[in-house]
């Protein structure tokens, strides 16, 4: 019987984020919180393994504020069997190294609470807010287990997991021993949706809570804002180019002629067959 | 001995032992930053045969090269490469380490940073040194390119970052003999916990988007797969490489090798011509560093026009042939 842990981050829907032209800052008010889409692909990969082997149990783990529970309930209503939320003010402000340290300690805690060992830990390739793609490999390092990144699909074969991954030149199939970490990117199919019945059941399911006090061996000097080696010094909105020459009116012939004139004059296009 | 002030650049290699572009590109900002930091610019090569990449590193401006060679490094593996690179960092204690943000680079760098316990900044697009602290100011897009963050790693060594390919230009090549330090470090292949079962290279053309000077990209506005015929012929006439938005890749109009954006390639050509592309943040994340951006879109409110230096509002099926004709008339005149 195999156990899979899927790491879930709750993120703002960055496609909805816009920039306040007055203050030049991100408008985050009213932007919905969602399950990081790549984590949805990781959950789907786990669900597909479970489709073939009903004995598999899928756990979801999220570190975040109390309201991140909503992301876990979403996973429970899709395919997760159990969920844990790691939430504590001591965790706040963690960079990727601190985040992965906390998550790996939480993973060990869940293993002892449930008297299980995880065979597979699935993550998204990256979170669409922090965008670093570092937490998966760093969890693998904390737990001293192997990793595959940019996974698309996977299947269990004997004592290995076969993972098809995306590479710059195409695809590769890699085999990896258990236990392992795999991070997932977008495959060419959409993940399954939550069913009404599951959604109803998920509302009542208990979500395990993990605070810093439950993580026995954790070194508090290595977590949170203070324990993080990297610090965000400042953020700014990238300059939107103003004053681009955009031809909106007039005939297309005229516009094309003027644009071609500018491109040639400014040596932007220098040669044509 | 005082702590080293050297700056390291990882020269990632392909399986044929030639260097990927990104490592050579990083020698450009690396040279400037190493000097400001008061150290040397050191290239690191870990490959089956390091001679080609080590030579290139010298030609493109490194002060010295450290190599680790062995058959176990022919194909990238997280286990062998992490062990070898960490061994070097622990032995030489560099101040800064830069790694290209390729697929393998982003697999490797977090693993090294975790093993050493130091900070890592992801996918940087700008690099400078903060005058006050002497730290590298790593600047990177986050929130799908909606904001830029400046990140410091002030109290841990080395300060590490992955840097997006295509953002920096390769320095000019000048043949130069430099010191090559050959380190020996072998990793037992039986301890590599992943195994290559099959490599499926994208069939057909190789697409070198990262190295392209001009890119013509087609988006969903093409309407169908045949639309890429127009894009291809226009691209061929101006010596451009064909790019694609994810929407077109998902429709199956063109292969993923052409995709530009967060889940595709990051590019920074001299000229980027976006045709029927709306300018979604995930697309923009991969092309906003282009020198000149030209947009053709029938919707005057398309977001892409906010990034464009030049643009025409109109149907791309009319605009592209007209533009091609006008360019011909003007360039051949
Ligand atoms: C603007 C900005 C820039 C930043 N840049 C850096 C940087 O360069 N380096 C750095 O070390 N930190 C950086 N951080 C901090 C970083 O965003 C946080 O540490 C964050 O908690 C994890 O990083 P991520 O969002 O990039 O996740 P990623 O590493 O992109 O996430 C990969 C996967 O890990 C799992 N995962 C990630 N976070 C959680 C979670 N909280 N709970 C459960 N699973 C999770 C998910 O499966 C996710 O798909 C930055 C923060 C901000 C706001
Ligand atoms: C996690 C994640 C990762 C992603 N990664 C990427 C990525 O790497 N790369 C990427 O590109 N996208 C990526 N996307 C998708 C992205 O959000 C957009 O959906 C996608 O870029 C849209 O492609 P498009 O601009 O071609 O299509 P659309 O947004 O549909 O735009 C089509 C445009 O064509 C115009 N048009 C229509 N007909 C004509 C005509 N006849 N002449 C001229 N103009 C016309 C329309 O006005 C419109 O502006 C990602 C999304 C997610 C959630």
Token pair recorded at residue B143:
């929130």
- Could you tell me the CA-to-CA distances from A14 to A36, A239, B247 in Å, in that order? 10, 18, 18
Alpha helices in A79-217 (DSSP H): 96-114, 135-143, 196-204
Cα–Cα distance between A194 and A57 in angstroms, integer? 17
Range of the domain at B83: 7-191
Ligand nearest to the CA of A103: 1
Contact call for residues B23 and B52 (beta carbons, < 8 A): no
Q: For ligand 2, is residue B266 a contact (CB within 6 Å)? A: no
pLDDT computed for residue A129 by the predictor: 92
Q: Which of B250, B257, B277, B312 to mutate to test the pocket of ligand 2 (most atoms within 8 A of CB)?
A: B277
**Where among B125, B157, B191 does a domain terminate?**
B191
Among B270, B266, B272, B264, smallest CA distance to B248 is for B264
Per DSSP bridges, beta strands B241-244 and A25-27 are unpaired
Tell which atom from ligand 2 comes closest to the C-alpha of B247: 23
Say if B120 falls within a structural domain.
Answer: yes
Tell me, yes or no, whether B122 and B269 share the same domain: no
- Residue A73 is classified by DSSP as H
Q: How many domains does chain B have?
A: 2
CATH number at residue B143: 3.40.50.620
Inter-chain contact A241–B308, Cβ cutoff 8 Å? Answer: yes
Cα–Cα distance between A247 and B305 in angstroms, integer? 10
pLDDT computed for residue B14 by the predictor: 94
Q: For ligand 2, is residue B302 a contact (CB within 6 Å)? A: yes
Q: Which H helix or E strand runs over A4?
A: strand A3-7
Among B237, B318, B330, smallest CA distance to A253 is for B318
Residue B108 burial (CB count, 10 A): 25
Cα–Cα distance between B260 and A249 in angstroms, integer? 30
Tell me, yes or no, whether B14 and B163 share the same domain: yes
pLDDT above 70 covers a percentage of chain B that reads 98
pLDDT computed for residue A239 by the predictor: 72
Partners of A145 on chain B (C-beta within 8 Å) are: 193
Dihedral angle of Cα B193, B198, B204, B205, to the nearest 10 degrees: 20
Mean pLDDT confidence for B5-17: 97
Tell me, yes or no, whether B254 and B310 share the same domain: yes
pLDDT digits (tens, 9 = 90+) for B274-285: 999 999 878 988
Q: Which H helix or E strand runs over A51?
A: helix A37-52
pLDDT computed for residue B205 by the predictor: 61
Residue showing tokens 């495959």: A187
Token pair recorded at residue A135:
């937490």
Q: Rg of chain A's alpha carbons, rounded to an integer?
A: 23
pLDDT computed for residue A29 by the predictor: 77
Say if B197 falls within a structural domain.
Answer: no
pLDDT computed for residue B203 by the predictor: 63
Tell me, yes or no, whether B187 and B222 share the same domain: no
Distance from A255 to chain B by nearest Cα, in Å? 7
Token pair recorded at residue A1:
């019987």
Ligand 1 center from residue A107 Cα (angstroms): 17
Tell me, yes or no, whether B162 and B226 share the same domain: no
Work out the pLDDT band at B266, boundaries 50, 70, 90.
confident
- Could you tell me the CA-to-CA distances from A245 to A14, B181, B306 in Å, in that order? 28, 52, 10
Q: Identify the burial level of B248 via C-beta atoms within 10 angstroms of its C-beta, where 0-12 means exposed, 13-18 middle and 19 or more buried.
A: buried
Say if B1 falls within a structural domain.
Answer: no
A242 → chain B, closest CA residue = B306
pLDDT digits (tens, 9 = 90+) for B230-260: 999 999 999 999 999 999 998 999 998 899 9
> Of B123, B151, B200, which has the smallest distance from its Cβ to A232's Cβ?
B151
- Could you tell me the CA-to-CA distances from B203 to A46, A168, A170, B265 in Å, in that order? 29, 13, 8, 18
Say if B250 falls within a structural domain.
Answer: yes
pLDDT computed for residue B270 by the predictor: 93
Tell me, yes or no, whether B151 and B184 share the same domain: yes
Tell me, yes or no, whether B186 and B218 share the same domain: no
What sign does the dihedral A238-A137-A11-A197 (CA atoms) show? positive
Distance from A243 to chain B by nearest Cα, in Å? 7
Ligand 1 center from residue A134 Cα (angstroms): 7
Series of mean pLDDT values for 10-residue runs along chain A (273 residues): 97 79 72 95 98 98 97 98 98 97 98 98 96 97 98 96 90 96 93 95 97 96 97 86 85 95 92 87
Say if B77 falls within a structural domain.
Answer: yes
Tell me, yes or no, whether B181 and B230 share the same domain: no
Mean pLDDT confidence for B15-21: 94
Partners of A245 on chain B (C-beta within 8 Å) are: 309-311
Tell me, yes or no, whether B47 and B180 share the same domain: yes
Ligand 2 center from residue B156 Cα (angstroms): 41
DSSP string, B105-155: HHHHHHHHHHHHT--EEEEESEEEE-TTT--EEEEEEEGGGTEEEEEE--S
How far is CA B194 from its chain centroid? 25
Contact call for residues B313 and A247 (beta carbons, < 8 A): yes
Contact call for residues A161 and A176 (beta carbons, < 8 A): yes
Tell me, yes or no, whether B238 and B133 share the same domain: no
- The answer, yes or no, to whether residue B1 has pLDDT greater than 50, is no
Ligand 1 center from residue A61 Cα (angstroms): 14
A27 → chain B, closest CA residue = B146
Residue B327 burial (CB count, 10 A): 23
Dihedral angle of Cα A155, A158, A161, A165, to the nearest 10 degrees: -60
Inter-chain contact A19–B146, Cβ cutoff 8 Å? Answer: yes
Q: For ligand 1, is residue A36 a contact (CB within 6 Å)? A: yes
pLDDT computed for residue B169 by the predictor: 83
Tell me, yes or no, whether B181 and B228 share the same domain: no
pLDDT digits (tens, 9 = 90+) for B42-74: 999 999 999 999 999 999 999 999 999 999 999
Say if B285 falls within a structural domain.
Answer: yes
Say if B13 falls within a structural domain.
Answer: yes
CB pairs under 8 A between A and B: 264
Domains by residue range for chain A, with CATH: 3-222 (3.40.50.620)
Cα–Cα distance between B219 and B244 in angstroms, integer? 6
> Of B263, B288, B294, which has the smallest distance from its Cβ to A186's Cβ?
B263
- Could you tell me the CA-to-CA distances from B69 to A103, A247, B62, B76 in Å, in that order? 35, 56, 19, 13
pLDDT computed for residue B3 by the predictor: 81
CATH number at residue B311: 3.40.50.1220
Q: For ligand 1, is residue A43 a contact (CB within 6 Å)? A: no
Which ipTM score applies to this complex? 0.91
- The answer, yes or no, to whether residue B2 has pLDDT greater than 60, is no
How many residues are given for chain A? 273
Please identify among residues 43-62 of chain A the ones whose CB lies closer than 8 Å to any CB of chain B.
none
Tell me, yes or no, whether B182 and B46 share the same domain: yes
B282 → chain A, closest CA residue = A15
Say if B231 falls within a structural domain.
Answer: yes
């Amino acid at each position: 019987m195999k156990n899979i842990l899927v790491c879930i981050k709750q993120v703002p829907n960055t496609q909805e984020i816009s920039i306040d032209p007055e203050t030049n800052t991100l408008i985050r008010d009213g932007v919905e919180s969602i399950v990081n889409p790549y984590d949805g692909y990781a959950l789907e990969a786990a669900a597909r393994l479970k489709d073939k082997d009903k004995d598999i149990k899928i756990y979801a783990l999220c570190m975040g504020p109390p309201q991140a529970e909503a992301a876990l309930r979403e996973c429970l209503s899709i395919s997760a069997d159990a969920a844990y939320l790691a939430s504590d003010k001591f965790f706040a402000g963690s960079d990727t190294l601190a985040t992965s340290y906390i998550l790996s300690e939480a993973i060990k805690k869940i293993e002892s609470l449930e008297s299980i060992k995880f065979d597979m830990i699935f993550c998204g390739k990256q979170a669409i807010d922090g965008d670093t793609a570092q937490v998966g490999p760093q969890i693998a390092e904390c737990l001293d287990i192997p990793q595959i990144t940019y996974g698309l699909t996977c299947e269990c074969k004997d004592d290995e997991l076969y993972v098809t991954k995306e590479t710059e030149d195409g695809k590769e199939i890699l085999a990896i021993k258990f236990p392992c970490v795999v991070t997932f990117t977008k495959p060419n199919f959409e993940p399954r949706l939550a069913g009404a019945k599951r959604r109803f059941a998920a509302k009542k399911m208990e979500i395990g809570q993990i605070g810093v006090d439950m993580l026995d061996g954790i070194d508090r000097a290595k977590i949170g804002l203070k324990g993080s080696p990297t610090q965000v010094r400042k953020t700014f909105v990238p300059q939107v180019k103003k004053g681009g020459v955009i031809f909106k009116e007039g005939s297309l012939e005229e516009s094309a002629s003027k644009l071609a004139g500018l491109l040639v004059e400014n040596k932007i296009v220098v040669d044509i067959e | 001995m005082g702590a080293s002030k050297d700056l390291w650049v990882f020269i990632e290699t392909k399986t044929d032992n030639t260097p990927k572009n990104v490592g050579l590109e990083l020698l450009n900002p690396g040279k400037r930053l190493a000097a400001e930091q008061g150290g040397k610019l050191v290239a690191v090569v870990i490959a089956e045969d390091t001679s080609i990449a080590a030579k290139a590193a010298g030609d493109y401006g490194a002060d010295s090269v450290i190599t680790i060679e062995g058959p176990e490094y022919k194909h990238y593996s997280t286990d062998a490469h992490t062990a070898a690179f960490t061994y070097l960092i622990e032995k030489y204690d560099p101040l800064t380490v830069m790694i290209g943000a390729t697929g393998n680079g982003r697999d490797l760098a977090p693993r090294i940073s975790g093993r050493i316990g130091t900070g890592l900044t992801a996918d940087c697009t700008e690099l400078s040194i903060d005058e006050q602290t002497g730290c590298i100011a790593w600047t990177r897009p986050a929130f799908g390119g909606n904001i830029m963050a400046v990140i410091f790693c002030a109290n841990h060594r080395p300060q590490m970052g992955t840097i997006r390919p295509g953002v920096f230009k390769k320095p000019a090549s000048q043949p130069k003999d430099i010191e090559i330090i050959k380190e020996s470090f072998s990793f037992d292949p039986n301890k590599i916990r992943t195994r290559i079962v099959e490599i499926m290279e994208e069939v057909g053309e190789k697409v070198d988007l990262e190295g392209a000077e001009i890119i013509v990209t087609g988006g969903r506005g093409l309407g169908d797969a045949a639309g890429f015929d127009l894009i291809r012929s226009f691209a061929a006439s101006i010596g451009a490489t064909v790019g694609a938005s994810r929407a077109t890749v998902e429709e199956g109009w063109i292969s993923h090798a052409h995709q530009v954006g967060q889940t595709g390639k990051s590019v920074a050509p001299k000229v980027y011509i976006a045709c029927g592309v709306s300018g979604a943040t995930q697309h923009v994340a991969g092309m906003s560093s282009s020198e000149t951006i030209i947009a053709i879109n029938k919707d005057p409110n398309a977001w892409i026009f906010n990034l464009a230096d030049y643009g025409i509002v109109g149907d791309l099926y009319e605009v592209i042939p007209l533009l091609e004709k006008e360019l011909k008339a003007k360039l051949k005149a």
